[in-house]
Structure 1
Amino acid sequence: MNLVAAVVVAFWAMLPAYVPNNAAVLFGGGRPIDGGRTWGGRRVLGDGKTWRGTVAGTATGVALALGLSALAPAASDAVGVSVPRFPLAAAVALSFGAMLGDVLASLLKRRSGRERGAAFPGLDQLDFVVVALVLAAVVAPSWFGDVFTLPVLAVVVVLTPLLHVGTNVLAYQLGLKDEPW
C-alpha cells in the first residue's frame, strides 16, 4: 500500500472515532457521568463528561460510519483507493471506544492531580484512538485486521495528533472549548 492510499484509508476508517468527541462538545451538557462523586478528594471525572455528550458522540460516530459505508463504493471509485465499509459492530466500537477513551483519560487526569481542561500531552491526543482501536479489534477482529494494516496504523499514530491539535485550536477560536488542547 502506498502512502497516499494509507492516508486515505486511515482517515476514512478513523472518522467514526474522530467525530464523537467533537459531537459531544456540541451536543453535550447535562448530568455528569460521575454524578458529582469524588474519589480521594477530587471529582472522579468532572462536569465535562456527561451522559448526553457520551450518547450523542457515540450516536454521531455510528451514524457517520453507516453513511460512510453507503458511500464507500462511490468514494473508492472517486479516489482510486478501496475505502472500507463499517460493520455495525466496528462502527459502535470505534465511536463508543473514542468516547470511553476520553472518559478514561479524564479519570487518569483527575487521579494525577490535573484539573478539568488541564493539558496532558500525549494522552490528550491519543487516548480516544487507542481505546477505539482496541475495542474495534476485540469486537470486529477480521474487519480490523483487513483495514488497519501496519502502514494504516502508522498513519493513524502520526495523523491523529495533528488533527487533534488543529480541531481543538479551531474549536477554541470558535468559542466551543475553554482551552486550545
Structure 2
Amino acid sequence: MVLETIAIALWAMLPAYIPNNAAVIFGGGRPIDGGRTLGGSRLLGDGKTWRGAVAGIAAGAVLAVFLNRIVDSVSNAITVSLPEFSIFAILLLPAGAILGDIGASFLKRRTGRERGAPFPGVDQLDFVVGALLLVAIPAVLGIHDWFFDVFGLGELLAVFIITPVLHVVTNAIAYWIGFKDEPW
C-alpha cells in the first residue's frame, strides 16, 4: 500500500518535476521581469526567462503525453494502477511548476536573497505547491476531478516528503555536470 501510494504520487508529479530542469537547460534570453525592479531589487532576476518558462512547460506537457502512451505497460509491469493525465493535468502541472518557481524567485528578491542563494524549504517545494495548486483549481471549481481522483492524503504526503530529497539530488547532479552554478 505504501509503495503503491509512492508510485502513484511520483508518477503523477513527473510532469511537474521536469519543467524547471528544462528551463535551466533551454533557458536564456529575455528575462520575464524585463529588468524591472521593486524596492530597489529586481522583480525576478535574469534566471527567469520567457524561453525557459515556455521550454519548461512544453517539456512537462510532452512528458505527460508520453506517460499516457506507456501508462498501461508501466502499470502492468509494477502492478500498480497509475493514473492517466487529463488535458488539464497535461497543461496545468508543468505551468504550475514554472509559476511556483517564479513566485519563489519573487519572494527571494523581496527577502534580499540574490539569484542562486539558498532558500531552504521554498527552493525544494515551490514548484510542487504551484503545480498542485494550479491543477487543483478545476477540481475545486467542479470543472474536472483529476486532482481529487489522483491525490489523496497519502499521495500528497509522499510528494511533500520525497520531493525535497529528489530536488537536492537532482540539483547536485546538475551542478556536478555544469548545468547549474550552485548545488541547491
Q: What is the TM-score with the length of structure 1 in the denominator?
A: 0.98
Identify unmatched segments of 5+ residues in structure 1. Answer: none
SS class of match (2:85): coil
User: Letter of the aligned partner of 2:132 in structure 1?
Assistant: L
Alignment of 1:77-116 (within 5 A): 77-116=76-115
How far off its partner does 1:74 sit?
1.1
Partners of 1:71 and 1:144 in 2: how far apart?
Answer: 20
8 Å contact from structure 1 (residues 54, 99) kept in 2 = yes
SS class of match (1:113): coil
RMSD: 0.8
Partners of 1:7 and 1:36 in 2: how far apart?
Answer: 41
Partners of 1:91 and 1:163 in 2: how far apart?
Answer: 21
How far off its partner does 1:139 sit?
2.5
8 Å contact from structure 1 (residues 90, 139) kept in 2 = no
The range that moved more, 11-20 or 69-78, is 69-78
How far off its partner does 1:159 sit?
0.6
Partners of 1:91 and 1:109 in 2: how far apart?
Answer: 28
Say whether residues 1:158 and 2:161 are aligned partners: yes
How far off its partner does 1:94 sit?
0.4
Find runs of 4+ consecutive structure 1 residues off by over 6 angstroms. Answer: none
Listed one character per residue, the Cα deviations across residues 156-178 of structure 1 (whole Å, up to 9, x for unaligned) are 01110000000000000011100
Residue in structure 2 matched with residue 39 of structure 1 by the alignment: 38
SS class of match (1:128): helix
Partners of 1:127 and 1:84 in 2: how far apart?
Answer: 23
Identify unmatched segments of 5+ residues in structure 2. Answer: none
Partners of 2:153 and 2:129 in 1: how far apart?
Answer: 15
